[in-house]
Amino acid sequence: MKLYTFWRSSAAYRARIALNFKGIAYESISRRLRQGEHRTGEYLGLNPQGLVPAIEEGNVVIAQSVAIIEYLEECYPSPPLLPKDPLGRAHVRSMAQNIACDIHPLNNLRVLNFLRDEMHLDKDAVDRWYAHWIEEGFRGLEVLAKRHAGDRKHCFGSQVTMADVFLVPQMYNARRFSCDVTPYPTLCGISAFLETLPPFAAARPEAQPDAE
């Protein structure tokens, strides 16, 4: 399996965690976003969306981190990233989508570049934008984590789930942009524990071969 990735992409970070957690060997192929390597004709031929991550298995290419992780869960079900019961799976998906749908799309690189280059916002304004959407998303996620964490080490129950896979990269980004995460002690504690686990540690941006 090939993973098209970029070391600082939080969406690619999610995919790396999931692949590591499930013990799936993969070839890491960097597409450096700032150099536009995700917009080349070669890559657009594989992934017309021109984004990372994408996985290639045989003659099939799958883009979008949620779809990738759901695919891995269905094709490589052990160890699982979703609970067995439908209600538990719904709760985990809800928490993951809080990040994937409500936080990340507003704060990804192309949005930030648009704010800087097209809207001519200065660094302070862009940082305020970023912190606002972290706050909007983490506020509710903190409540859900308190409600569903069985051991205060995982977002749901006492096993790694898709919600954890999405939390750690988003917490990494929040800290990278100097967002105040002290109002979210449950999320901070969960992320701190998860970051010590080998599948998460190996997926960390600085541990990637294309890290700058």
Instruction: Please write down the HEC assignment for all residues of 14-30.
Output: HHHHHHHHCCCCCEEEE
- Which CA distances in Å does 105 have to 112, 126, 151, 155? 10, 15, 30, 21
Contact 169, 100 (CB under 8 A): no
Q: Of 141, 146, 50, which is closest to residue 104 (Cα–Cα)?
A: 141
- Select 86-199's CATH number: 1.20.1050.10, 2.60.40.420, 3.20.19.10, 3.20.20.70: 1.20.1050.10
Equal fold, 2-79 vs 86-199 = no
**For the chain, what are the domain ranges?**
2-79, 86-199
Q: What pLDDT is stored for residue 34 in this prediction?
A: 81
pLDDT tens string for the chain (212 positions)?
999 999 999 999 999 999 999 999 999 999 998 888 888 999 999 999 999 999 999 989 999 999 999 999 999 999 999 999 999 999 999 999 999 999 999 999 899 999 999 999 999 999 999 999 999 999 999 999 999 999 999 999 999 999 999 999 999 999 999 999 999 999 999 999 999 999 999 999 999 999 98
Q: What pLDDT is stored for residue 78 in this prediction?
A: 97
Query: Which superfamily, per CATH, for 2-79?
Result: Glutaredoxin (3.40.30.10)
Cis peptide before 80 (omega within 30 of 0): no
User: Residue 102: phi, psi to the nearest 5?
Assistant: -105, -25
Rounded CA-CA distance 146/167 in Å is 14
For residue 196, what are its two tokens? 């010590």
Q: Of 44, 9, 1, which is closest to residue 170 (Cα–Cα)?
A: 9
pTM, full prediction: 0.95
CB atoms within 10 A of CB 119: 10
Residue for token pair 């129950």: 157
